[in-house]
Structure 1
Amino acid sequence: MRAIQISEIKTLKPIEIESPAAPGPGQALVRTHRMGVCGTDVSCYLGKFPFFDFPRIPGHELGVEVLSVGDGVTSVAPGDRCSVEPYMNCGHCYPCRRGATNCCQNLKVIGVMMDGGLCESFLVRADKLHRSTKLSFDQLALVETLAIGCHANDRAAPRPADHALIIGMGPIGLATLEFAKFTGARISVMDMNPERLDFVRRNYGIENTIQFSGDGSEKDAMREITGGDFYQTIVDATGNRHSMGGAIGYLASTGTLVYVGITTDAISFAHPTMHKPEASILASRNALPGDFTRIIQLIEMGMINTDPWITHRSDLDSVVNDFESYTKPETGVIKAVISVCP
């Protein structure tokens, strides 16, 4: 069976692996139809993701078809189309007992800590499959990205009329924006890439777009937008230590900063920058099962339109050559999707 493996830093290669066995109790055998390329996949490929080991078959943003199920599985059936919740939690540790399955102490994320879905078929826990009778495989492959943004926005919890800032307009920043829109907050977005800001203006109607240049002009723009108050909530989706360290300087008094992007580097800022405004700094990790259910319903109802997101496509034959371009924002990539099986 064909698969694609990240074998070492900046090296993607086709491999042959054994076909999976029949599903055991509680398992499902699924065929991968679509895989979304995530910032995590890019970071893994570049050797910058802290939870990743080489070699690994990537793939955690997945639209799959159920082929067969094991004993005791009633939640899905052969032929169902599903999104995969890729967070394999233990169910027994302290965070799992508190319902924080996204932070399981024994967590294994498929495609990151264990082999993922960039292969023709694989076994997965059936309780991690979220079915839809309406969504395409493309849409199902984008649910996990949206779930990350959904959870990050829930952590930030912007209120109606709050000034909210989202930094980084890659897929996770865009996913956060999708859910910030539902809160009634007054949203600003910031990115270094003018093309991404233009994408947000065209597709989301966000007027308050700020291009980061590092010369202080971004703060001038923020003062004008917020009347000098700055931002009650900020989500930094960059994974860049310089951005993450600087973001706290954009907070309003008693504001909340959420880090959803991740870095292996140290993040630093002068303590008074945090202490003076009585800031709250939070992390956002993965997502919760209910986020997947909510997102599928919102897409089915037409309240989230994923069509503009997919800017690049590959298949198993072309992805090895194409992948390097997905690491470069100057190529115009927002979201690349790999067609694994027709």
Structure 2
Amino acid sequence: MKAIHINQPGEAEIFETEQPVRKEGEALLKLLYGGICGSDLGTYRGTFAYASYPRIPGHEFSAQIVEIDSADAEKYNLHVGQIITCNPYFNCGSCYSCKRGFVNCCEQNETMGAQRDGAFMEYITMPVERIYDGKGLSPLELALIEPFCISYHGVSHADVKPGEKVLVIGAGTIGVLAAAAAKAADAEVYISDIAPKKLDHAVEIMGLAGRILNDSSEHFTEQVQEVTNGNGFDVTIEAVGLPATFLACVDAAAFGGRVVQVGVGKRNADFNFTLLQKKELKLYGSRNALKKDFLSLIDLVKSGRIDITKIVTNKYELADGAQAFKDFSEHADKMLKVVIHFADPE
């Protein structure tokens, strides 16, 4: 079978490998769609904090069940031919976090495509307990559920309430979907980025309240003050992973506000931490997602309230998978969600 391989930063290729053989408690899946995540792009660029090489990328995907044991199928309400998505975060089950139920931030977490090989192959195997019924959603929709879960999980930390002003910094996939999740909570949502076209696109497809162009710290502050009448935002969400954008979230938050850190980066932030005390800010880190996030969002998308396929700007076939990474790396300011089509369901 064919798979996508990132050999080292800046070098991706399509290569031939053996089809996996499932073990007890696993199902064999045929991949249908895969989305290139910001972390996959970071692995390709050499900027992702958890990257190691060589690596098969991919943890946003939809698939079709090819083989599954009958007992597992009955227990988890699964069947051959079913279109599904999966939870790609492998937790150890024995660390302090896992024992307390925080399996999304397991101390030995291995996310597909990051600490272990990912899903960008024609066939993969997955533990059956990580497979979730797609409930009739299209393969493209199901490939977008995982990034929506990352965003939704972060927004849920902030307990966003109707009418609150929310600022999301970062108009990439996670940021746009975080804005969508906050809007679904009936908040007044603004989005910020350095790329005007991405901002305009995000506001248009998600029906957001407005945009804040982050072309300078002075202009950014001016716009924040104007939009919030000098009060700051009730909630700010960082979805980039840079020190400057984290500090912008702290600065833009209102006194008594909440700040959620979702973006992943390698660099340190140097700031006056007393500002956290002065504003009495609540600061939340958000990592991965939980099963309940997947199940809730499958139902939300099925309800028709949110069309997540609007975030897709570019589609590639598997044969062009290496080119997809190169193009995305060179034109990230113009490309939002890049997906790779692996196969159609049978």
Q: How far apart, CA to CA, are the structure 2 residues paired with 1:71 and 1:111?
A: 29
Q: How far apart, CA to CA, are the structure 1 residues paired with 2:145 and 2:253?
A: 30
Matched with 1:194 is 196
Matched with 1:153 is 155
Runs of 5+ unmatched residues, structure 2: none
Which of 119, 125, 129 aligns to 2:127? It is 125
User: Do the aligned residues in 1 keep the contact of 2:238 with 2:263 (CA within 8 Å)?
Assistant: yes
Q: How far apart, CA to CA, are the structure 2 residues paired with 1:93 and 1:227?
A: 46
Matched with 2:38 is 39
Report the CA distance between 1:175 and its aligned residue.
Answer: 1.2
Matched with 2:19 is 19
Scaled by the length of structure 1, what TM-score is found?
0.96
Instruction: Quickly say closer, same or farther: Cα 1:268–1:246, change in 2 above 3 A.
Output: farther
1:47-103 Cα shifts (integer Å, max 9, x gaps): 111222100111100110010014741312211111111011122322112221101
Matched with 2:140 is 138
User: Do the aligned residues in 1 keep the contact of 2:144 with 2:309 (CA within 8 Å)?
Assistant: no
Paired AA for residue 308 in structure 2: T
Q: How far apart, CA to CA, are the structure 1 residues paired with 2:273 and 2:100?
A: 32
User: Do the aligned residues in 2 keep the contact of 1:80 with 1:133 (CA within 8 Å)?
Assistant: no
Stretch of structure 1 that moved more, 126-135 or 289-298 = 126-135
1:80-135 Cα shifts (integer Å, max 9, x gaps): 11111101112232211222110112211111111111111011111111112411
Which of 220, 223, 241 aligns to 2:222? It is 220
Runs of 5+ unmatched residues, structure 1: none
Matched with 2:329 is 327
- Answering whether residue 117 of structure 2 is matched by residue 115 of structure 1, we say yes
Q: How far apart, CA to CA, are the structure 2 residues paired with 1:32 and 1:245?
A: 39
Count of residues in Structure 1 that have an aligned counterpart in Structure 2: 341
Matched with 1:230 is 232
User: Do the aligned residues in 2 keep the contact of 1:26 with 1:72 (CA within 8 Å)?
Assistant: no
Paired AA for residue 28 in structure 2: L
Give the aligned CA root-mean-square deviation in angstroms.
1.5
Scaled by the length of structure 2, what TM-score is found?
0.95
Question: Could you list the runs of 4 or more consecutive aligned residues of structure 1 that deviate by over 6 angstroms after TM superposition?
Answer: none
Report the CA distance between 1:272 and its aligned residue.
Answer: 2.9
Q: How far apart, CA to CA, are the structure 2 residues paired with 1:166 and 1:329?
A: 22
Q: How far apart, CA to CA, are the structure 1 residues paired with 2:291 and 2:209?
A: 33
Matched with 1:164 is 166
- Answering whether residue 241 of structure 2 is matched by residue 249 of structure 1, we say no
Work out the percentage of aligned pairs sharing the same amino acid: 28
Report the CA distance between 1:273 and its aligned residue.
Answer: 2.4
Which of 313, 316, 321 aligns to 2:315? It is 313
The 3-state SS of whatever aligns with 1:337 is strand
Instruction: Quickly say closer, same or farther: Cα 1:88–1:72, change in 2 above 3 A.
Output: farther
